[in-house]
């Protein structure tokens, strides 16, 4: 698809924007803690001032997403990351003393690690959380002392345009700016010589982003996704698990990267779980059509994609259990639970990213875990149960970006713990101290002492036999 005139203009402007920020970064020199806090505070002030217009823009972009959800997920979620970084970066930014080299430490040699900003960071966000996927990583980027260019998703155009307008109100373009445009702009964005690049989105696109970044050896942070599993132990409280799953899966109608995708439950408990989810979901959403609390699928293309997954599974023999009112309209859908779909069905192979859920039964928890491990490593894993030994076994025998126990979609809300994926679900992380480290260069520094004993100890050429024996004596297991 050919780029539009506006996209072409954005593409042409990208190198100039990056060059201007890099020049400003070099001219600034060391970035003080006060400057970093000021930048974080201005983002906070921007969100507080414009929170209602932002929620209205997201409501319009989705065709009816609840402003309450947008306020909670995108505005409050971003503010949590920004405030945590603001309140802790002074400690994070301090030099860290490290042991020096023996025996020179006895003569005053010291060592430390200095954390310095990398420079200019490009951040590509996504449509499902159009503020959070930009501003939450920005909190770590600014805390580390960097400057940034944001690329919002074109699928949420009103939110993107408002973000560009409000960022310009609070920042000079040399500090922070927003670039608008479609896939052609995103592709060109990923080719620039950033000092670090952040991308949130599909795994397939993440591979293209990483490939493009490799031409300039740009380090990347990729927050992707995957088929995040729920494991329900035989001792789990089924009513509690059903409520947590229904609540978590309904958030943004499943259009979240950490939304539960596949629930594994013992065969003897499957019907009880299905029935309980139906009951909870119907209580949350007694109607579907025109219900302002039900988030619509973002556009027709994604609506048809989710519908095709469910239909394909049904045609291939899977049982579909509906939770909620089936009177769907305006891209709002009830939750469909697809029970034991065939392995070659679309819903078994692709991340759902919508109001549908695969439910698989198991006879052996070990086999369920083996089946999970046979697939790609997910962004999230969820475990329900009361057996501490079983919980430890599940954690020890699985690998995912993060974990919530006896709940779903909650660990990304941990502001002081890293958020990110592993393998196909991503690499790198933001949030908390680990996010600060992600966007900092950890620079080792060695400072020599006042006296160098090497010559008098015979440690310099020409090497003596005595020194050779001393070195050989240091070679120990």
Residues 432, 320 share a domain: no
Q: Is residue 455 part of a domain?
A: no
The reply to whether 100 and 150 lie within a common domain is yes
The reply to whether omega before 462 is within 30° of 0 (cis) is: yes
Does residue 100 lie in a domain region? yes
CA-closest candidate to residue 336, choices 308, 364, 366: 308
User: Cα–Cα distances in Å, from 404 out to 228, 366, 458?
Assistant: 11, 19, 59
Cα separation, 82 vs 42, whole angstroms: 10
Q: Are residues 248 and 390 in the same domain?
A: yes
What's the token pair of residue 6?
Answer: 């506006």
Could you tell me if 214 and 276 lie in one domain? no
**Is there a single domain that holds both residue 277 and residue 362?**
yes
pLDDT in tens, 29-60: 999 999 999 999 999 999 999 999 999 999 99
Q: Where are the alpha helices (DSSP H) in 93-219?
A: 132-143, 157-170, 183-191, 203-214
**Closest-CA residue to 167 (of 159, 175, 177):** 177
- For residues 252 and 350, membership in a common domain is answered with yes
Beta carbons of 388 and 408 less than 8 angstroms apart: no
The pTM (predicted TM-score) of the whole model is 0.96
CATH at residue 396: 3.40.309.10
Q: Return the bridge partners of 323, or none.
A: 335
Distance CA 245, CA 260 (A): 7
Bridging pattern class, strands 196-200 and 176-178: unpaired
In tens, the pLDDT along 93-133 reads: 999 999 999 999 999 999 999 999 999 999 999 999 999 99
The reply to whether 314 and 384 lie within a common domain is yes
| Beta strand 110-117 pairing with 96-98 | antiparallel
Based on the fold, state whether residues 57 and 159 are members of the same structural domain.
yes
Judge whether 464 lies within some domain: no
To the query of whether residue 55 is one of the catalytic residues in this protein, the response is no
Task: Check whether residue 89 and residue 136 sit in a common domain.
Answer: yes
Counting the structural domains of the chain, the total is 2
Active-site residue 165, yes or no?
no
Q: 59, 175, 188, 223: which is the annotated catalytic residue?
A: 223
Considering the domain architecture, whether residues 278 and 406 belong to the same structural domain is answered as: yes
- In this prediction, residue 143 carries a pLDDT of 98
Residue 196 lies in a domain: yes
CA dist., res. 406 & res. 240, Å (int):
8
Residues 42 and 103 in one domain: yes
Q: What is the CATH number of the domain that holds 73?
A: 3.40.605.10
| Residue 175 belongs to some domain of the structure | yes
Among 384, 418, 121, 128, smallest CA distance to 277 is for 384
Query: Residue 473: inside a domain, yes or no?
Result: no
Per residue of the chain (477 residues), give pLDDT as tens.
567 899 999 999 999 999 999 999 999 999 999 999 999 999 999 999 999 999 999 999 999 999 999 999 999 999 999 999 999 999 999 999 999 999 999 999 999 999 999 999 999 999 999 999 999 999 999 999 999 999 999 999 999 999 999 999 999 999 999 999 999 999 999 999 999 999 999 999 999 999 999 999 999 999 999 999 999 999 999 999 999 999 999 999 999 999 999 999 999 999 999 999 999 999 999 999 999 999 999 999 999 999 999 999 999 999 999 999 988 889 999 999 999 999 999 999 999 999 999 999 999 999 999 999 999 999 999 999 999 999 999 999 999 999 999 999 999 999 999 999 999 999 999 999 999 999 999 999 999 999 999 999 999 999 999 999 999 999 999
For residue 61, tell me if it sits in a domain.
Answer: yes
Tell me, yes or no, whether 234 and 220 share the same domain: no
Identify whether the C-beta of residue 438 lies closer than 8 Å to the C-beta of residue 115: no
Q: Is residue 244 part of a domain?
A: yes
Active-site choice (257, 351, 376, 438)? 257
Domain enclosing residue 367, as ranges: 229-414
| pLDDT at residue 4, rounded to an integer | 84
């Amino acid at each position: 698809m050919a780029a539009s005139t506006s996209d072409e203009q954005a593409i042409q402007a990208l190198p100039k924007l990056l060059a201007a920020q890099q020049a400003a970064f070099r001219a600034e020199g060391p970035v003080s803690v006060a400057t970093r806090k000021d930048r974080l505070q201005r983002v906070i002030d921007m969100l507080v001032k414009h929170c209602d217009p932002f929620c209205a823009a997201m409501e319009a972009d989705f065709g009816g997403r609840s402003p309450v959800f947008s306020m909670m997920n995108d505005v409050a979620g971003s503010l949590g990351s920004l405030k945590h970084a603001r309140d802790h970066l002074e400690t994070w930014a301090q030099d860290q003393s490290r042991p020096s080299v023996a025996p020179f430490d006895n003569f005053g040699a010291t060592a430390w690690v200095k954390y310095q900003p990398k420079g200019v960071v490009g951040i590509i966000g996504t449509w499902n959380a159009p503020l959070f996927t930009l501003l939450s990583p920005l909190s770590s980027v600014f805390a580390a002392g960097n400057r940034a260019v944001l690329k919002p998703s074109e699928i949420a155009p009103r939110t993107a345009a408002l973000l560009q307008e409000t960022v310009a109100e609070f920042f000079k373009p040399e500090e922070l700016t927003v670039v608008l445009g479609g896939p052609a702009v995103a592709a060109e964005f990923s080719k620039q010589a950033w000092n670090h690049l952040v991308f949130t989105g599909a795994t397939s696109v993440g591979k293209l982003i990483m490939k493009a970044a490799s031409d300039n050896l740009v380090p990347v942070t990729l927050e992707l996704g995957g088929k995040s599993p729920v494991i329900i132990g035989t001792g789990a409280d089924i009513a509690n698990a059903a409520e947590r799953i229904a609540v978590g899966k309904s958030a943004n109608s499943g259009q979240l990267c950490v939304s539960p995708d596949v629930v594994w439950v013992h065969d003897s408990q499957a019907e009880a779980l299905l029935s309980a989810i139906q009951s909870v979901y119907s209580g949350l959403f007694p109607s579907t059509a025109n219900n302002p609390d039900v988030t619509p699928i973002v556009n027709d293309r994604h609506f048809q994609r989710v519908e095709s997954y469910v239909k394909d599974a049904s045609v291939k023999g899977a049982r579909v259990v509906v939770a909620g009112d089936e009177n769907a309209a305006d891209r709002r859908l009830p939750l469909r639970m697809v029970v034991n779909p065939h392995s070659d069905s679309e819903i078994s192979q692709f991340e759902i990213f919508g109001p549908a859920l695969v439910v698989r039964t198991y006879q052996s928890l070990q086999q369920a875990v083996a089946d999970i491990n046979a697939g790609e490593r997910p962004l999230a894993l969820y475990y329900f149960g009361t057996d501490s030994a079983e919980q430890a076994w599940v954690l020890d025998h699985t690998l995912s970006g993060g974990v919530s126990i006896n709940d779903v979609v909650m660990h990304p809300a941990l502001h002081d713990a890293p958020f990110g994926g592993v393998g196909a679900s991503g690499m790198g992380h933001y949030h908390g101290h680990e996010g600060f480290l992600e966007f900092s260069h950890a620079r080792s520094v060695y400072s020599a002492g006042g006296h160098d004993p090497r010559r008098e100890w015979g440690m310099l050429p020409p090497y003596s036999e005595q020194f050779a024996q001393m070195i050989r004596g240091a070679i120990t297991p």
